[in-house]
Amino acid sequence: MSDPFRNLNALYEKVKVHSDRVMDAYSGKFQCRRGCSDCCSSDRSVSAVEYANVAQALSEVSEKTLSRLKSQPRSKKRCSMLLDGACSVYKARPLICRSHGLPLVLDRSKGRQIVDVCPLNFKDGSLGTLPPEDLLAQGTVDSILVAVNALYCQEENGEPRKRRQLASLLE
């Protein structure tokens, strides 16, 4: 039987290759590091394939970690997977968590695009000088994720339009 997460992991790997290259090229301009969890400031709502992937990762954490995650007070201002300032399912974190911090091209209405980045990064104002290949096209990776989720739902009888909060994995 084929791995139900093969397409998702292939997408994650592509984003990782881009992320590693850009973070390496501009290493002095990123504040992203273990301990910074500013982008984990709300619970994530994810599609079926990412929900199942995080559920699998959660099934592999220690009983102690799971118990601590479950006993944490719920907050709209913090992701339910955050523990001691770090992601407890880091290897399975959703796509949105992988693109946070990177310089992004974001699609806006009427075909407009903007370039954006976490306010902690590129504080020297050099964001606008980056070449297109160093910007992650958020709309493109989101579209690929939609396709990956649709394929997953076909194979696993999932509901492609349904999104669920990660916090519900701890109920």
Using CB under 6 A, count the residues that bind ligand SF4: 10
With respect to ligand SF4, which residue has the nearer C-beta, 44 or 164? 44
Q: Which of 8, 22, 52, 97 binds ligand SF4 (CB under 6 A)?
A: 97
With respect to ligand SF4, which residue has the nearer C-beta, 94 or 103? 94
Length of the chain, please? 171
Query: In whole angstroms, what is the distance from residue 169 CA to residue 72 CA?
Result: 13
With respect to ligand SF4, which residue has the nearer C-beta, 61 or 130? 61
Query: In whole angstroms, what is the distance from residue 165 CA to residue 171 CA?
Result: 11
With respect to ligand SF4, which residue has the nearer C-beta, 15 or 87? 87
The DSSP call for residue 60 is T
Element (H, E) at 2: none
Q: Which of 18, 29, 93, 164 binds ligand SF4 (CB under 6 A)?
A: 93
Footprint on residues 32-91 left by ligand SF4 (CB under 6 A): 40, 44, 79, 81-82, 87, 89
* Smallest separation (angstroms) from ligand SF4 to the CB of 57: 9
Q: Following DSSP, what letter does each residue of 78-145 receive, concatenated?
A: S-TTEETTEETTGGG--HHHHHTTS-EEEE-GGG-EEEE--TTS-TTSGGGG--GGGSEEHHHHHHHH
* Smallest separation (angstroms) from ligand SF4 to the CB of 1: 27
* Smallest separation (angstroms) from ligand SF4 to the CB of 131: 27
How many Å is the maximal CA-CA distance in the chain?
50
With respect to ligand SF4, which residue has the nearer C-beta, 79 or 135? 79
Query: In whole angstroms, what is the distance from residue 125 CA to residue 158 CA?
Result: 44
List residues binding ligand SF4 (CB under 6 A).
40, 44, 79, 81-82, 87, 89, 93-94, 97
